[in-house]
Structures are given as structure tokens and as C-alpha cells.
Amino acid sequence: MARVPSSLVAATGLVGGYGVARWTKKRPLGGVALAAAGAVAAREWERKAGKKAAAALSGAYVMAFAGSHPLAKKVGAWPSVFAVAGVVAAASWAVADRRGE
């Protein structure tokens, strides 16, 4: 069975976590979605690129979540979420996914 690229999992976690929180009006539920996708992505990052890369990408994932909040005040919520998701997806692809495992 083909694996889903970790870059897609990470981007989906950021976008999906925000979407769940917004549409359910339950921020903790969005946090669960965000954390679950982050855990799956981290496991794949470690498998594909090693512990150091997984730690760095996990840090980028958390920083993207945190950074989306002040960015949203400048560009809007959805554009901010899509922007940080794109950055994390690109970093994930460059570090872990482009090898095609």
C-alpha cells in the first residue's frame, strides 16, 4: 500500500486542526486533530530522515502553529494557515519526502 507523504500529513494537520476548531467552535478538538497529524508526521520524519530531522521538523510544525496566530492578524486566518502549512509541507518534502521512500 502506498504511503501518504509526510509533507501532506503535516499540512493537513495544520489546515485540518484549524478547520475543526473553527467549525466545531471547540478549540481543544482542533488541537487534537493538530497533535494527531503532527505525531503521524513526526513518526514518518524519523523513519525517513532520522531523529535530528524529525526533531527539527516537529519544531517547525509547532512554530508554524504558533506563528500563524500573529500572521492571521495581518493577512487573515485562512491565508495565514495556508501559508504556514505550505512552508511546513515544503520543508518536510525537502528533508524527508523527496527521496521517494
Map out the domains of the chain as residue ranges.
Answer: 6-97
Point out the residues of the chain with pLDDT beneath 70: 1-2, 100-101
Q: Which of 67, 77, 97, 64 is nearest to 22 (CA)?
A: 77
Q: What is the DSSP letter of 94?
A: I
Alpha helices (H) along the chain:
6-24, 27-49, 51-75, 77-92
The C-alpha atoms of residue 28 and residue 97 are separated, in whole angstroms, by: 30
Would you state the pLDDT for residue 99?
Answer: 76
CA 64 to chain CA centroid, Å, is 8
The C-alpha atoms of residue 31 and residue 10 are separated, in whole angstroms, by: 13
Q: What's the pTM value of the predicted model, to 2 decimals?
A: 0.93
**Structure confidence by residue, pLDDT tens digits, 66-79:** 999 999 999 999 99
User: Strand, helix or coil at 98?
Assistant: coil
**Structure confidence by residue, pLDDT tens digits, 36-48:** 999 999 999 999 9
